[in-house]
Amino acid sequence: MPEANKPVETSGDIVYDIAAVCRLTGLTAPGLRMWEKRHQAVNPGRTETGRRQYSRRDIQRLTLLKALSNQGNSIRTIVGLPMAELEKRLSESSKSRDGEDFKEGGKGSDQVRACRMIVIGSQLTALLASENALPSGVATKCEYEDLEDAEEDRIDGEADLLLVEIPALFSEDLNRVRRLLNRFQALRAIIVYAYAQKQTVENLEEDGGLITAIRGPLSLKELRTACATDIALANRSATSLIEDAPGPREVTEGIPERQFSKHQLARISRISSVVECECPNHLAALLEAMNGFEVYSAQCENRNAADAKIHAYLHRMTAHARATVEDALKVLVEFEDIEVGDA
Residue-wise pLDDT for 186-204, tens only, equals 878 889 898 888 778 777 7
- Condensed to tens digits (0 to 9), the pLDDT of residues 300-334 reads 766 656 677 888 888 889 999 999 999 888 887 77
Helix (H, G, I), strand (E, B) or coil at 167: strand
Please check whether residues 135 and 203 belong to one and the same domain. yes
Pairwise CA distance, residues 162 & 267, whole Å: 39
Shared-domain flag, residues 297 and 232: no
Residue, of 123 and 22, whose pLDDT is higher: 123
Residue 205 one-letter amino acid: E
Residue 107 has pLDDT above 60, yes or no: no
Give Cα 317 distance to the centre of its chain: 34
Q: Among positive and negative, which fits the CA dihedral 9, 11, 12, 13?
A: negative
Specify the higher pLDDT residue, 298 or 98: 298
**SS3 sequence, 189-222?**
EEEEEEEECHHHHHHHHHHCCCEEEEECCCCHHH
pLDDT computed for residue 300 by the predictor: 77
306 in any annotated domain: yes
The mean-pLDDT minimum among 27-36, 189-198, 252-261 falls in 27-36
Number of domains in the chain: 2
Q: Are residues 87 and 210 in the same domain?
A: yes
Q: Are residues 230 and 269 in the same domain?
A: no
Q: Is the pLDDT of residue 279 over 50?
A: yes
Confirm if 99 and 139 have CB atoms less than 8 A apart: no
Look up the pTM and report it. Answer: 0.48
- 297 is in which domain, residue-wise? 262-336
| Judgement on whether residues 180 and 52 belong to the same structural domain of the protein | yes
